[in-house]
Amino acid sequence: MRETRYSGASCHLDEHAAVLASGDDVRDLLAAGRHDVARRFAVELARWFPKHSDEMDRSLSHWLLTRREDGRHPIKLVRKPAQ
């Protein structure tokens, strides 16, 4: 992201870092027997990921594809209808 000067890199990387840091905290709590926290984290991660993927990762992939294809976009990105 930084290498291609993606404008959303800082926000995107911060979001990944926050999720990874939460995962580290949950791993420690799980080792201490807090299975309830790990289950809740899994539920929240499953809730977070689709939006992250649809918004941030889609934007990043569009950016990377247009850089690779000299400004042309070889793939049409189609948004899924809201459920």
Distance CA(62)–CA(77), nearest Å, equals 8
- DSSP secondary structure string for all residues of 28-75: HHHHTT-HHHHHHHHHHHHHHHHHHIIIIIHHHHHHHHHHHTTT--SS
| Predicted confidence (pLDDT) per residue in 26-69, tens digit | 999 999 999 999 999 999 999 999 999 998 998 898 888 887 76
H/E stretch holding 15: helix 9-31
pLDDT value at 20 more than 70: yes
Handedness of CA 12, 53, 51, 46 (dihedral sign): negative
C-alpha to C-alpha distance for 37 and 46, rounded to whole angstroms: 14
Record the pTM: 0.70
